Amino acid sequence: MPKIAVSGLTKSFKAAKGGQLPVIQGVDFEVAEGEFVAIVGPSGCGKSTLMNILAGFEKPDGGSLLIDGQPHPGPSPQGIVISQYGSVFPWLTVQQNLMFGLTGVEHGVDAERAKLADHYAAMVGLKGFENAYPHELSGGMLKRVELARAFIVKPEILYLDEPFSALDALMNLRMRNELLRILAEEKHTVLLITHDVDEALYMADRILVLSPRPTRIQARFELDMPHPRRLISPEMDQLREAILKELGLEMPG
Ligand SMILES: Nc1ncnc2c1ncn2[C@@H]1O[C@H](COP(=O)(O)OP(=O)(O)OP(=O)(O)O)[C@@H](O)[C@H]1O
């Protein structure tokens, strides 16, 4: 059974000038457990709307969305979203931010939760910063706190909505490697929404290309390649060109 099964999904919004603005027009795909699927699409096509529906924050008008064969349970710790905007609490230390989501009895007493928080802080390279406040950290370090905060609750699905797009180019590349390293240790199902084709090529097992709004899936690409990947190779160049062509960007011959 697929982890996520989406079929015939549709969504419209009320348009500012009256009438309906169709945004999603019949999206179908499945994601297997442990698979990393990237969804790329042109600006304004409906990527964030699709992600909000997939993560359970928004209801579709039509179609079905099943998680483990069941109707979507809505937002829950089973599915964690990481977006470009960040969600770290500025008034809590790194350790307190990481402990925040550990509310279950299985997480034990405070001392055990603090130990778990420190383990995850170390996993994302923040050892020694457990007692630092967010304003004392760089943008890349804040992103690491967010990754740790997502992984510590052991979500079954990670929803990544342009997670690294607010970082500078070098930090963006670092965080891709960091994410892949953690995913190799702790297998999760991942859905990444991005406009960055290279980000998708670097990390995903499969890439779905969305059409302009009202969006549907226009093309699908399989990437049966081991990690770490070289972004410059004849195979990657061919894939990149094919995806950019689907997005309406022809490379000069
Ligand atoms: N709550 C809403 N009410 C009305 N219209 C909306 C709403 N949310 C999104 N839209 C419209 O739906 C369309 C798709 O928006 P969405 O943010 O999903 O696109 P996107 O592909 O994520 O965009 P970008 O690449 O620029 O981030 C846009 O035209 C937007 O104005």
Who contacts 194 (Cβ-Cβ below 8 Å, separation ≥6)? 38, 39, 40, 160, 162, 165, 200
Q: Please check whether residue 177 lies inside any domain of the structure.
A: no
Residue 218 is part of a domain; what is its CATH number? 3.40.50
Q: Please check whether residue 63 lies inside any domain of the structure.
A: yes
* Residue 10 confidence (pLDDT): 98
CB 84 within 8 A of CB 162: yes
Which numbered atom of ligand 1 lies nearest the CA of 41? 21
Three-class SS of 211-253: CCCCECEEEEEECCCCCCCCCCCHHHHHHHHHHHHHCCCCCCC
What is the CA(139)–ligand 1 centre distance, in A?
26
Best of 49, 61, 84 for a ligand 1 pocket test (most atoms within 8 Å of beta carbon): 49
Q: Which residues pair with 38 in a beta bridge?
A: 192, 207
Closest among 160, 186, 147 to 34, alpha carbons compared: 186
Which numbered atom of ligand 1 lies nearest the CA of 195? 25
Closest among 100, 103, 77 to 90, alpha carbons compared: 100
Mean pLDDT of successive 10-residue stretches along the chain, which has 253 residues: 97 93 97 97 94 95 97 89 89 95 81 94 93 94 92 93 89 90 91 95 98 97 95 95 93 71
Who contacts 245 (Cβ-Cβ below 8 Å, separation ≥6)? 251
What is the CA(14)–ligand 1 centre distance, in A?
11
Residues with CB under 6 A from ligand 1: 13, 21, 23, 41, 43-49, 195, 213
Which numbered atom of ligand 1 lies nearest the CA of 46? 18
Q: Please check whether residue 199 lies inside any domain of the structure.
A: no
Q: Please check whether residue 137 lies inside any domain of the structure.
A: no
Which numbered atom of ligand 1 lies nearest the CA of 45? 21
The Cα–Cα gap between 223 and 207 comes to: 8
Q: Please check whether residue 110 lies inside any domain of the structure.
A: no
Q: Please check whether residue 122 lies inside any domain of the structure.
A: no
Residue with tokens 């490697």: 177
- Which range of residues forms the domain containing residue 230? 1-77+204-253
Split into its structural domains, the chain has a count of 1
User: ipTM of this predicted complex?
Assistant: 0.97
* Residue 188 confidence (pLDDT): 93
Which numbered atom of ligand 1 lies nearest the CA of 44? 23
Q: Which amino acid residue places its CA nearest to atom 30 of ligand 1?
A: 44
Please report the DSSP string for the chain in residue order.
Answer: --SEEEEEEEEEEE-TTSSEEEEEEEEEEEE-TT-EEEEE--TTSSHHHHHHHHTTSS--SEEEEEETTEE---SBTTEEEEETT----TTS-HHHHHHTT--SGGG-SHHHHHHHHHHHHHHTT-TT-TT--GGGS-HHHHHHHHHHHHHHT--SEEEEESTTTTS-HHHHHHHHHHHHHHHHHS--EEEEEES-HHHHHHH-SEEEEEPSSSB-EEEEEE----SSPPSSSHHHHHHHHHHHHHTT-PPP-
What is the CA(58)–ligand 1 centre distance, in A?
12
Cis (ω within 30 of 0) for the bond into 2? no
Who contacts 153 (Cβ-Cβ below 8 Å, separation ≥6)? 77, 80, 101, 102
The Cα–Cα gap between 69 and 49 comes to: 22
